[in-house]
């Protein structure tokens, strides 16, 4: 009898543990809720669901028709909250005494009913979004686990931008893009509608903007950019491009608003306007087409045109924000323009920087009169900025830090963390792309409120946004590939408090969302089967700690340290290990004894230059100091990004001297440089090695010339090696010539 009771108890425990495990796995929500509790039981969606709503939420309830397996004909109005229906789906307005926070929602799933409670429609939509994602995450979306969730966003602004100027995408795709944003609680769609590559919005007062400036001679942006940059006319056989009618734009605005998403339009000014000035050349400084990218600020007609355009834009977009770009203005035309120079004198401006500030302030004031607020990239800070303007910081964090500390509202979108046009995996092996390396983990690790912002100014950080610049995204499939799943990491950074976020936990939950994206036919980036081997040298302990990581979840990694190719019999990687001498590590992923993906090789260089004194004959760039004067001899290599803190940047020649403190026998010297032409990072034309015994008189030993052409736009690395055959010297000097006058980046000076 006792055995039967024991067996029954064990069976009950087993069944309960399986149920809890299943429920936990099925509540892999992204972004992570502030509070959720799993409960026993499930809600089974009936063939016909009864839906009830407080009066304020009846129209919002219509969105439930789009949810999987939620079938209903009408929404019943709730007259009172005192006696609620015992079955069905209920959308409830929180009572005044409810402890629920003002911007929070409460989602309750019981075996008989589902209830979402909120104080307002925005919070209710967030709760409905959670319910939709919960259903999509289930293998069978008719069965939902019982739970309680209370949740609210960290930031009010959680944005995702899409550039439709470089490549035009149809409205149906934009709706899909907005749907995906909604599922992950991204609430602002920044629509980059105009730029030199094409004008994309119908402006009825200026029909040539869509008859000509919306069309170009090549479909592919890169071809157009390199082959004349000319515009076409609608109807020309080779015209490529397109535009959105005002009715289409209004339809998209309504579609987004129904899902709780605001569309912020961007109309570029005063620069990035080649397409406008090609068809309305009278608004440029010389009146010539195809000669200018910036409006003539000294011409009063410029502001008549811009305000007329904005009037139509404001009629389409109810957004409180209007984005004007305001960045990368080529001011050489203004310097030579009599009208611009006269305006500088008349307005007592210092220079052309002041002229740009004048233009931005004119537009900011006009938008303020219309009850709107200007947003611009952080160059709008130049020359002073009206307090009512909001800064979108994109060149790095510094612009956002400066703006916030000066009392301006800021939306953080630094390129190093939130530009979704860069590589997601090993960039040396992928297709053409603009540059940069931004794996999903780096997106997830971003903190939008830098410590450099004063405590009383942190509230000026309204939120964050990722930008999808589309020079190298000619298809909608490519856009999806570049945006997802990085947008999921963005959503959690914007929504969830920092102390609740955990990369291992996020990565575990992410596994369930691959199935969700497959259901929705999203062409997302698949996690790589390659591994990365990372070394961290400890200058005190004189050991290198090796970590092997993968984008796969809990992969079986095998590795060797004898230079041989790994197979499934070799040591399985479990945790970081240490090495005390120069070693070649090789690793790969295996599944069922079969290797998947390639073999990654990493050389641990424990060499005689580590910890030695480096004398900088030319300074490093203040923008890229890395680890300052220890960078080149700390035993650590950089990764795929020059912004990772191990690559040291130089804007002039690379010129350093290494002091061994005594004469040393030297056999080999090597150092590595990076090239990525897009942002202006190049190889040195040549690298010279010199030696000295007194640090004053140097003799040249060898010179190695670069053989990688500057026309190569891919990410390239080159190690410059010098064979010294046992020569002796106390000092060595290395000089790399900066022929392209861009940036030089190097990470470690290795000496044997």
CATH number of residue 86's parent domain: 3.30.379.10
CB atoms near residue 66 (< 10 Å)? 12
Number of H helices, E strands in the chain: 17, 33
Q: Do 725 and 682 lie in a common domain? A: yes
CB atoms near residue 662 (< 10 Å)? 7
Structural element, H or E, at residue 14: helix 2-26
Whole-prediction pTM: 0.91
Last residue of a domain, one of 151, 166, 192: 151
Nearest to 329 by CA among 305, 307, 359: 359
Rounded to whole angstroms, the Cα distance separating 435 from 519 reads 31
Q: Name the residues annotated as catalytic.
A: 195, 272, 328
707's tokens: 């053989």
Nearest to 233 by CA among 203, 212, 218, 219: 212
528-566 in b/e form (b: 16+ CB < 10 A) is bbbbbbebebeeeeebbebebbbbbeebbbbbbbeeeeb
Rounded to whole angstroms, the Cα distance separating 199 from 273 reads 9
Positions of the chain with pLDDT under 50: 1, 3-22
Rounded to whole angstroms, the Cα distance separating 603 from 714 reads 23
Cis peptide bond upstream of 485, omega within 30: yes
Last residue of a domain, one of 519, 549, 580: 519
What is residue 677's predicted lDDT score, i.e. its pLDDT?
A: 84
Domain assignment present for residue 335? The answer is no
Structural element, H or E, at residue 163: strand 157-163
Q: Do 652 and 589 lie in a common domain? A: no
Q: Do 119 and 85 lie in a common domain? A: yes
What is residue 401's predicted lDDT score, i.e. its pLDDT?
A: 87
What is residue 428's predicted lDDT score, i.e. its pLDDT?
A: 67
Q: Do 171 and 76 lie in a common domain? A: no
Query: What is the number of structural domains in the chain?
Result: 4
CB atoms near residue 400 (< 10 Å)? 30
Q: Do 572 and 507 lie in a common domain? A: no
What contacts 48, CB < 8 A, 6 or more positions away? Answer: 71, 72, 73
Question: Treating both helix axes as pointing N-terminal to C-terminal, what angle do 338-346 and 352-369 enclose, rounded to 10 degrees?
Answer: 70
Nearest to 44 by CA among 109, 96, 122, 115: 109
Q: Are 403 and 381 in contact (CB under 8 A)?
A: yes
Nearest to 137 by CA among 225, 28, 55, 253: 28
Return the SS3 of 693.
coil
What is residue 11's predicted lDDT score, i.e. its pLDDT?
A: 44
Rounded to whole angstroms, the Cα distance separating 45 from 541 reads 61
Nearest to 718 by CA among 743, 687, 740: 687
At 684, which CATH number? 2.60.120.260
Domain assignment present for residue 339? The answer is no
At 238, which CATH number? 3.20.20.80
Domain assignment present for residue 334? The answer is no
Domain assignment present for residue 287? The answer is yes
Length of the chain: 752
Q: Do 118 and 18 lie in a common domain? A: yes
Q: Are 626 and 620 in contact (CB under 8 A)?
A: yes
Q: Do 598 and 673 lie in a common domain? A: no
CB atoms near residue 358 (< 10 Å)? 17
Q: Do 650 and 737 lie in a common domain? A: yes
- CA 85 to chain centroid, in Å, comes to 45
Structural element, H or E, at residue 550: strand 543-550
Q: Do 293 and 172 lie in a common domain? A: yes
Rounded to whole angstroms, the Cα distance separating 504 from 195 reads 40
Domain assignment present for residue 340? The answer is no
Burial of 613 (0-12, 13-18, 19+ CB in 10 A): middle
- Order of strands, edge to edge, in the sheet holding 143-151? 35-44, 143-151, 105-109, 113-118, 88-93, 51-54, 75-78
Rounded to whole angstroms, the Cα distance separating 135 from 516 reads 10
Domain extent at residue 696: 613-751
What contacts 607, CB < 8 A, 6 or more positions away? Answer: 582, 635, 750, 751, 752
Ranges of beta strands (E only) in 27-131 are 35-44, 51-54, 75-78, 88-93, 105-109, 113-118
Pairing assessment for the beta strands 594-604 and 577-579 based on DSSP bridges: unpaired
Cis peptide bond upstream of 31, omega within 30: yes
Q: Do 191 and 122 lie in a common domain? A: no
Residue with tokens 């998209």: 252
Q: Do 422 and 394 lie in a common domain? A: yes
Domain assignment present for residue 341? The answer is no
Q: Do 542 and 472 lie in a common domain? A: no
What is residue 379's predicted lDDT score, i.e. its pLDDT?
A: 87
Residue with tokens 């940059």: 229
Domain assignment present for residue 30? The answer is yes
Name the CA radius of gyration of the chain, rounded. Answer: 30
Q: Are 63 and 127 in contact (CB under 8 A)?
A: no
Domain assignment present for residue 230? The answer is yes
Rounded to whole angstroms, the Cα distance separating 255 from 191 reads 14
What is residue 17's predicted lDDT score, i.e. its pLDDT?
A: 43
Last residue of a domain, one of 133, 151, 169: 151
């Amino acid at each position: 009898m006792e055995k039967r009771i024991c067996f029954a108890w064990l069976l009950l425990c087993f069944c309960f543990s399986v149920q809890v495990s299943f429920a936990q796995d099925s509540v892999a929500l992204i972004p992570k809720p502030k509070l959720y509790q799993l409960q026993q039981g499930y809600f089974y969606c009936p063939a016909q669901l009864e839906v009830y709503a407080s009066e304020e939420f009846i129209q919002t309830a219509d969105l439930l028709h789009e949810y999987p397996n939620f079938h209903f004909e009408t929404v019943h109005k709730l007259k009172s909250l005192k006696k609620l229906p015992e079955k069905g789906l209920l959308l409830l307005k929180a009572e005044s005494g409810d402890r629920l926070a003002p911007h929070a929602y409460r989602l309750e799933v019981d075996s008989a009913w589902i209830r979402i409670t909120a104080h307002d429609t925005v919070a209710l939509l967030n709760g409905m979004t959670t319910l939709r994602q919960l259903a999509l995450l289930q293998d069978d979306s008719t069965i939902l686990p019982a739970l309680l969730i209370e949740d609210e966003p960290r930031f009010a602004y959680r944005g995702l931008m899409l550039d439709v100027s470089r490549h035009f995408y149809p409205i149906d795709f934009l709706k899909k893009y907005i749907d995906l944003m909604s599922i992950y609680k991204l609430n602002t769609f920044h629509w980059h509608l105009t730029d030199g590559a094409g004008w994309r919005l119908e402006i009825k007062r200026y029909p040539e903007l869509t008859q000509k400036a919306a069309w170009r001679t090549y479909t592919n942006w890169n071809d157009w950019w390199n082959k004349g940059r000319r515009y076409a006319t609608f109807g020309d056989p080779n015209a490529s491009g397109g535009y959105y009618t005002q009715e289409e734009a209004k339809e998209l605005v309504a579609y987004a608003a129904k899902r709780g998403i605001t569309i912020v339009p961007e109309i570029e000014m005063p620069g990035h306007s080649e397409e406008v000035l090609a068809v309305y050349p009278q608004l440029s400084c010389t009146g010539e087409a195809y000669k200018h990218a910036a409006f003539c600020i000294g011409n009063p007609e410029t502001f008549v045109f811009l305000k007329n355009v904005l009037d139509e834009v404001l009629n389409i977009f109810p957004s409180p924000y209007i984005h004007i770009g305001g960045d990368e203005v080529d001011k050489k035309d203004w310097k030579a323009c009599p009208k611009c120079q006269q305006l500088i004198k008349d307005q007592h401006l210092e220079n052309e920087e002041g002229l740009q500030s004048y233009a931005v302030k004119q537009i900011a004031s006009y938008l303020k009169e219309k009850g709107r607020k200007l947003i611009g990239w952080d160059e709008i800070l130049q020359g002073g900025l009206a307090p009512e303007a909001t800064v979108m910081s994109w060149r790095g964090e510094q612009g956002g830090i400066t703006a916030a500390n000066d009392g301006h509202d800021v939306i953080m979108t630094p390129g190093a963390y939130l530009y979704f046009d860069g590589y997601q995996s090993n960039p040396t092996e992928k297709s053409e792309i603009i540059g940069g390396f931004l794996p999903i983990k780096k997106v997830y690790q971003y903190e939008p409120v830098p410590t450099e912002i004063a405590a009383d100014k942190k509230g000026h950080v309204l939120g964050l946004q990722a930008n999808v610049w589309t020079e190298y995204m000619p298809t909608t499939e490519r856009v999806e590939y570049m945006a997802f799943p990085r947008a999921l990491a963005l959503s959690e950074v914007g929504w969830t408090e920092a102390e609740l976020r955990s990369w291992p936990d996020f990565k575990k939950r992410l596994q369930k969302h691959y199935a969700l994206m497959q259901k929705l036919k999203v062409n997302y980036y698949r996690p790589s089967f390659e591994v990365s081997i990372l070394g961290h040298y400890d200058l005190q302990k004189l050991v290198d700690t090796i970590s092997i990581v993968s984008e796969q979840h809990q992969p079986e990694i095998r590795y060797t340290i004898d230079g041989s190719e790994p197979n499934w019999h070799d040591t399985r990687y479990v945790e970081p290990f240490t090495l005390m001498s120069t070693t070649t590590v090789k690793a790969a992923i295996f599944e069922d004894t079969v290797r998947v993906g390639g073999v990654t090789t990493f050389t641990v260089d424990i060499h005689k230059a580590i910890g030695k004194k480096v004398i900088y004959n030319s300074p490093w760039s203040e923008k890229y100091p890395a680890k300052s004067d220890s960078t080149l001899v700390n035993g650590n290599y950089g990764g795929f990004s020059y912004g990772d803190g191990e690559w040291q940047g130089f804007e002039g020649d690379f010129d350093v001297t290494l002091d061994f403190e005594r004469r040393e026998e030297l056999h080999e010297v090597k150092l590595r440089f990076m090239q990525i032409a897009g942002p202006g990072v190049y190889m040195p034309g040549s690298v010279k090695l010199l030696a000295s015994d007194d640090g004053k008189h140097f003799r040249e030993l060898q010179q190695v010339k670069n053989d990688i052409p500057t026309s190569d736009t891919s990410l390239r690395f080159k190690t410059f090696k010098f064979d010294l055959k046992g020569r002796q010297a106390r000092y060595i000097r290395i000089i790399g010539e900066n022929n392209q006058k861009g940036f030089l980046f190097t990470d470690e000076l290795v000496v044997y």
